[in-house]
């Protein structure tokens, strides 16, 4: 019996930790968080990810300002976000690529890992 987690367990734990991260740092909880692990990459998709202040700016016709605020906040929180991912997966993050769509409220992040995390096979 292996003590390593399955890929699905890591994906589920990471999704939970991403929701907690958003609640702690942004005081906003996305409605859904989906995480998929692909060898040394992770895709994270958040639904209803825009904070109330970003949504307010977008609704008021200030899309460019809303994008700038969202990008600036994301950049400021990137070290903490990487730390959460590294803690859950047990491997270093070497790159983080993220974008949000104001129209749909979705955020997608691609995480490039230094190596695949150890998971239970089979």
Report yes or no on 50 lying in a domain.
yes
Q: How far apart are CA 92 and CA 114, in angstroms?
A: 5
Give the pLDDT confidence of 12-24 residue by residue, as tens digits: 999 999 999 999 9
Report yes or no on 20 lying in a domain.
yes
Residue 90: closest CA among 2, 1, 9, 10:
10
DSSP assigned state of 114: S
Instruction: Give the pLDDT of residue 69.
Output: 93
Report yes or no on 118 lying in a domain.
no
Give the pLDDT confidence of 59-114 residue by residue, as tens digits: 999 999 999 999 999 999 999 999 999 999 999 999 999 999 999 999 999 999 99
Report yes or no on 103 lying in a domain.
yes
Instruction: Give the pLDDT of residue 121.
Output: 82
**3-state SS record for 33-50:** EEEEEECCEEEEEEECCC
Which tokens sit at 59?
Answer: 């609704």
Report yes or no on 122 lying in a domain.
no
Report yes or no on 2 lying in a domain.
no
Determine if residue 111 is left, alpha or beta; phi over 0 gives left, psi from -120 to 50 gives alpha, anything else beta. beta
Are the beta carbons of 44 and 81 closer than 8 angstroms? no
Report how many domains make up the chain. Answer: 1
Report yes or no on 117 lying in a domain.
no
Instruction: Give the pLDDT of residue 122.
Output: 64
* Structural domain of 50: 7-112
Instruction: Give the pLDDT of residue 22.
Output: 95
Please report the sign of the dihedral spanned by the C-alpha atoms of residue 117, residue 87, residue 96, residue 60.
positive
Report yes or no on 57 lying in a domain.
yes
Give the pLDDT confidence of 17-62 residue by residue, as tens digits: 999 999 999 999 999 999 999 999 999 999 999 999 999 999 999 9
Residue 117: closest CA among 33, 36, 18, 37:
37
Instruction: Give the pLDDT of residue 117.
Output: 97
Instruction: Give the pLDDT of residue 91.
Output: 98
């Amino acid at each position: 019996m292996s003590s390593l987690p399955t890929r699905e367990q890591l994906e589920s734990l990471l999704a939970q930790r991403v929701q907690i991260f958003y609640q702690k740092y942004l005081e906003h909880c996305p409605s859904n968080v989906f995480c998929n692990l692909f060898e040394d990459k992770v895709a994270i998709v958040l639904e209803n990810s825009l904070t109330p202040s970003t949504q307010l700016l977008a609704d008021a016709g200030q899309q460019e300002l809303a994008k700038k605020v969202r990008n600036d906040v994301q950049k400021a929180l990137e070290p903490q976000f990487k730390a959460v991912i590294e803690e859950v997966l047990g491997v270093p993050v070497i790159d983080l690529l993220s974008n949000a769509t104001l129209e749909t409220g979705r955020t997608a992040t691609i995480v490039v890992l230094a190596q695949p995390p150890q998971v239970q096979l089979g």
